[in-house]
Structure 1
Amino acid sequence: MNAITPIIMPKWGLEMSEGTISNWHVAEGQTLTRGMEIVDIETAKIVNTLESDLEGTVRRLVAPVGQTLPVGALIAIVADAGVPDAEIDRFIRGDAPAAEPAEAPAPNPAPAPAMTDAGTGPAPASVSDPDLEHRNETASATPMARRIANRNGVDLSLVTGTGRNGRISQEDVEAFIAARPAAAAPMASPAASPAASPVAGGPDIAAGNRAVHATSHAIRLANRLGIDLTRLAGTGRNGRVNVQDVERVAGESGLTVTPGPAATPPAGPAARKLAADLGVSLSGVTPTGPKGHATKEDVRNAAAPAPVPDPTVTGGDLVPHSAMRRTIATALTAAKRDVPHFYLTADILMDDLLTLRAQLNAMAGQKISVNDFIVRASALALSDVPDVNVQYTDAGMRRFTQANIAIAVAIEGGLVTPVLHDAGGRPLRAIAAEAASLAARARDRRLTASDLSGGTFAISNLGMFGIRDFQAIIAPPQAAILAVGATRRDAQEGPDGGVRFRSVLSVTLSCDHRAIDGAVGARFLAALRQHLEQPLGLLS
């Protein structure tokens, strides 16, 4: 094991972008063994436990319980007992790579430092370490990141990846190189070489700086401080000069950097989309993510209006939103705003089904609920009317041959929708057993990412609460959801003209009008009614 090993926020499932620390199972100073439970992490819909795949001593718990962090963020440090606390502090701040960095070669005496293939800044003299290259081949990294690391003598096991599933990107390696001590990446000092000093006055500096490959904020700051960017080696992508380069030179020259205009922080696709959805400018967001990136939580904080005291309201406790509640609020707001809903309601006679259910439950075996019959009937109706078993995408309509039914389950703090896969290919008792298992695991927060993915149609049943009928909100990318009410007794005219009471169930189908037309939704409800009013067919 390396002297310092970071533990980062894992990525469980393609849709996970952040997680909340729910509970630490280890304490600082505790010795880790492989397979030991480290921390419970709450995502949008589940709580999973991260287990150790290494051995060592827990030296620092970086993230407190309750903190929400993006995927790839540092949450804890494991290190050898001999590593000083100051070295760990520098590693957490990003001032130094680790307690055991790769050996740096002798400085290049040339006045202008060499550049890497990607133009990431100063590179050491020729680095050729077969052992290092072999170790780097086993790291999860992009080909460009591995190439830059090999040419700069960087051990990728010391680099924290911020890509998908913790993969190391080119930017991760560039940031690691930029953070190395001066001995590992030498650069001419203005004090040591006055003739090449980038700090100089003169009216031509602004004109010269405009021609330099630099960010606009770096150019404005350099012009204000009188720094000649043509003499400055950039450490950004492809050798681009950034604000940090200018601030470093200003600090070495004794210049005072006064605050300038706020720069727009970098942000991932999820944070940018959320900012667009909420109408938030990223320039007004305070980033807290790795490498100064703005996270979704940062965007939400920027979008939240400042609290206005209401003198008419007193008392009451403010309970912070859980990760699940925030996700539900964001997803359903976007769904109701972006998806054109329409609703179709139908009444279904349930007398024969209730009689059959009572007979089946009198036998030995798994008890069957009314909802189990509805799941089975919905799957068969989707087979009869496949135009409802679809998802709308910008590229085209995605059609499914298998009915994967998502079942809404209420749990403490919100609801989840575990998926019963291939409901059309399962017998009724198997559906009942699987549905009961999914509901129990949901309430115990033991669902996995696979349990929550792949749904093509959804069912929400509030009949057990006495709700007659309601309209459910579609959960994209699904194109429809069936809202099920309570069975009631209605007086209806019989074939002989007399009046008798019948058991009636009202169901409402919410449809995405981009994918499903009214006539298609009506055919689905007709097929559903036929299967439920002739329940013997559900046993085949």
Structure 2
Amino acid sequence: MPIEILMPALSPTMEEGTLAKWLVKEGDTVNSGDIMAEIETDKATMEFEAVDEGVVGQILVSEGTDGVKVNTPIAVLLEDGESADDIGETSSKPAKKPDAKAEKPKSGAPAAASAPAAPSKSDGERIFASPLARRIAADKGIDLADLKGSGPKGRIVKADVEGAKAAPKAEKPADAPAAKSAPAMASGPSTDQVRKMYEDREFEEMPLDGMRKTIAARLTEAKQSVPHFYLRRDIQLDALLAFRSTLNKQLEARGVKLSVNDFIIKACALALQQVPDANAVWAGDRTLKLKPSDVAVAVAIEGGLFTPVLRDADMKSLSALSTEMKDLAARARDRKLAPHEYQGGSFAVSNLGMFGIDNFDAIINPPHAAILAVGAGAKKPVVGEDGELKVATVMSTTLSVDHRVIDGALGANLLNAIKDNLENPMGMLA
């Protein structure tokens, strides 16, 4: 029997995607391992390959179609001896799932509508109809269950639908109460309500892409479901800046230039080892206490952000962290990261200091238990240990903490460890 090829899950959290581009067409012969299409997720555009060999008998979802649910049939593969007439019997054979392969640069695709899903009768019996017949029936409002097919094995074809008439729609009783409008979502007014507010103003509608939808959903859920609390510390950077300058002169011949953010990543990774009870994530009915320090770092890209993860960051040198971070950030901006490179970690860093932001509160990215928001370093008057007033370079930090995982005192110990590491940078090389 023909094999249904299903929309693949290209990451553990993927629920739907866009079929960006078909690399095969109906009638093409494919072998196991051949690349068949490009699938766009909320993070990247990735290729998927054929698992079996055969002939592409039917493409069910046109390229450019978005919102395709995982495990939805997207094509039908014919095996030896099969023809297009056998496609109506695919439900009797288990579908094969394609495997995801490495990403390719994002490519555009024209929008196109897919054929309606295969219909069935009220008793569950499947109705065999060609994709064109299904589309015509949907456009004309015709119930295929009322038709008798003239095609092979009783299949409903174009001619059967074109000669049929749509059943009259039942009229609404005169005394039926008017339908109530759907209440506005808890997250805010509906699209129509917002349009109404601004109907006398000029505006341009910007549809949300997959990444923006995912960011909106995840951060709304995080802010509503994660009990955040916030801890703040000012950190003096003068010793770190002087140490960084010395190291950069020594590393210049190797083409390595350390940033302040490299030191922050290292300081956080070491702090998770110094305060191991804080190196944990929320897992629904329990917490998972991690041994390695896997630190995620927010990277802004066009239309959203990635949080690539630096694994075992406590074990790596500053120069290794710097090189790895530059590579991850560059590939994040090109949307070329593999899922395992931006998933995981127990802790995150979000640095807006380079944008001149003094301080801010970051939203935790579940299942992480904490995220450090980093502001700009600025010259400020401070009182020294001897009571004398002096000028120092001060950086404001805010630690957002999930209270289900980390209590106040434990969070304070973690932030204090980060502060101590940054104010005594030579100790991070020990």
Question: Normalised by the shorter chain, which TM-score bucket?
Answer: 0.7 to 0.9
Are 1:423 and 2:310 matched, yes or no?
no
Matched, 1:467 2:357: yes
1:331 equivalent to 2:218? Answer yes
Deviations 1:420-458 (A, max 9, x none): 111112222221122112112211211112112221111
1:379-458 equivalences under 5 Å are: 379-458=269-348
Distance 1:397 1:52, change over 3 A: closer
Q: Within the alignment, does 1:32 sit opposite 2:30 as a pair?
A: yes
User: Is the 1:27–1:58 contact (alpha carbons within 8 Å) kept by the matching residues of 2?
Assistant: yes
Structure 1 CA distance for aligned equivalents of residues 16 and 126 of structure 2: 28
Quick one: which of 209, 233, 239 aligns to 1:346?
A: 233
Please tell me whether Structure 1 or Structure 2 has the larger radius of gyration of its CA atoms.
1
Residues 5 and 96, structure 2, Cα contact 8 Å, conserved in 1: no
- Deviation, 1:349, is 0.8
Mapping of residues 296-375 of structure 1, within 5 Å:
306=192, 309-310=196-197, 312-362=199-249, 363=251, 364-365=253-254, 366-375=256-265
Q: Tell whether the 8 Å contact from 2:21 to 2:39 is kept in structure 1 after alignment.
A: yes
Structure richer in strand, relative to its length:
2
Aligned counterparts, 1:24-423, within 5 A? 24-63=22-61, 64-79=63-78, 87=85, 91=87, 96-98=88-90, 158-160=93-95, 306=192, 309-310=196-197, 312-362=199-249, 363=251, 364-365=253-254, 366-423=256-313
Identity fraction in percent: 41
Q: Please, which of 395, 408, 422 is the counterpart of residue 505 of structure 1? A: 395
1:301-321 deviations in whole A, cap 9, x for unaligned?
xx9665553464343322221
Shift, 1:371, TM fit: 1.0
Check the 8 A contact 1:349/1:533 in 2, yes or no: yes
Q: Aligned partners of 1:279, 1:526: CA distance in 2, in Å?
A: 38
Distance 1:397 1:257, change over 3 A: farther
**Does 382-391 or 475-484 show the bigger shift?**
382-391
* 1:6 aligned counterpart, secondary structure: strand
Compute the TM-score of the two structures, normalised by the length of structure 2: 0.73
* Aligned counterpart, 2:151: none
Shift of 1:40: 2.0
CA deviation digits over 1:36-78, x for unaligned, max 9? Answer: 4322222233332112344444444322314111111112233
Q: Which runs of 5+ in 2 are unaligned?
A: 101-120, 129-166, 171-184
- Tell me, which stretches of 5 or more residues in structure 1 are unaligned? 102-153, 166-174, 183-255, 260-277, 281-302
Q: Which residue number in structure 1 is paired with residue 405 of structure 2?
A: 515
| C-alpha separation in 2, matches of 1:70 and 1:533 | 50
Q: Mean alpha-carbon deviation: is it higher for 354-363 or for 377-386?
A: 354-363
Work out whether residues 24 and 65 of structure 1, in 8 Å CA contact, stay in contact via their aligned partners in 2.
no
CA distance in 2, matches of 1:395, 1:310: 43
Alpha-carbon separation, structure 2, partners of 1:495 and 1:334: 44
Deviations 1:286-333 (A, max 9, x none): xxxxxxxxxxxxxxxxx9665553464343322221111111111111
Amino acid at match of 1:9: M
Maintained 8 Å contact 2:3/2:94: no
Contact 1:403/1:423 (<8 A) preserved: yes
TM-score, normalised to structure 1, is 0.59
Secondary structure, counterpart of 2:267 in structure 1: helix
Of structures 1 and 2, the one with the larger relative CO (CA 8 A, separation 6+) is 2
Asked if the contact 1:373–1:428 (Cα under 8 Å) also holds between the matched residues in 2, the reply is yes
Work out whether residues 97 and 159 of structure 1, in 8 Å CA contact, stay in contact via their aligned partners in 2: no
CA distance in 2, matches of 1:315, 1:25: 41
For the Cα contact (< 8 Å) 1:97–1:180, is it kept in 2? no
Structure 1 residue 346 displacement after superposition: 0.5
Q: Work out the number of aligned pairs and report it.
A: 353
Q: 1:59 to 1:97 in 2, by over 3 A?
A: closer
